[in-house]
Every structure is written in structure tokens, then in C-alpha cells.
């Protein structure tokens, strides 16, 4: 699999999660507003990943989408959002 294909798969997977995640109400020390700010940062990293992918700068694109995924995973681990990563990553550009 080429780096371009890998980047495209990560981007498609992350887009799906951002579209499907839900915020968890409950007893957390992190406010929903704080979580939303982190999600907005994740979305910005995803846009960066697309920008660099389209300009054939795949290493930068991969780093950006990986950071986006890390932010989302952190929110999930903290219990403030719910989502599941797709089982099969789709190659969507």
C-alpha cells in the first residue's frame, strides 16, 4: 500500500468518526465545551491532512491525520465522546 493510499484511508476513517461521534453527558471533569474545542482542533488537523494529501505531501498529511486520531482517542478514553473506528478502512479520496 502506498503512502498516499494509507493517508486516504486514515482520512476517510477519521471523517466517519467525526460525523458519527456523540458527546457523553455525565460526571466528568471535562466540560462539553472543552470537549467540543478539542473536536474542533481534531477537525482542523483533518483539514490539514487533506490539504497536504492533495499537494502530494503525504508524510505531513499522515502526521496531521494521526494527530487528529490521537485527539479523538484521548476524548474517548476520558469518556466524553462515544464512537467506534471503522473495522475496514475505506479508500475514499
pLDDT at 92: 52
Contacts of 36 (CB under 8 A, 6+ apart): 23
Q: What is the pLDDT of residues 61-84, one digit of tens each?
A: 999 999 999 999 999 998 889 999
Domain that holds residue 43: 3-82
Domain count, the chain: 1
Q: What is the pLDDT of residues 22-71, one digit of tens each?
A: 887 766 678 889 999 999 999 999 999 999 999 999 999 999 999 999 99
CATH code: domain of residue 53 = 1.20.1270.90
How far, in Å, are 11, 47, 48 from residue 54 at the CA level?
Answer: 12, 11, 10
What is the pTM assigned to this prediction?
A: 0.71
What 8-state DSSP symbol labels residue 82?
A: E
Amino acid at each position: 500500500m502506498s503512502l498516499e493510499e494509507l493517508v486516504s484511508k486514515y482520512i476517510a476513517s477519521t471523517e466517519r468518526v467525526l460525523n458519527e461521534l456523540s458527546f457523553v453527558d455525565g460526571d466528568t471533569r471535562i466540560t462539553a465545551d472543552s470537549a467540543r474545542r478539542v473536536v474542533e482542533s481534531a477537525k482542523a488537523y483533518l483539514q490539514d491532512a487533506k490539504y497536504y494529501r492533495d499537494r502530494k505531501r503525504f508524510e505531513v498529511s499522515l502526521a496531521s491525520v494521526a494527530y487528529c486520531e490521537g485527539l479523538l482517542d484521548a476524548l474517548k478514553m476520558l469518556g466524553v465522546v462515544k464512537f467506534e473506528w471503522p473495522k475496514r478502512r475505506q479508500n475514499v479520496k
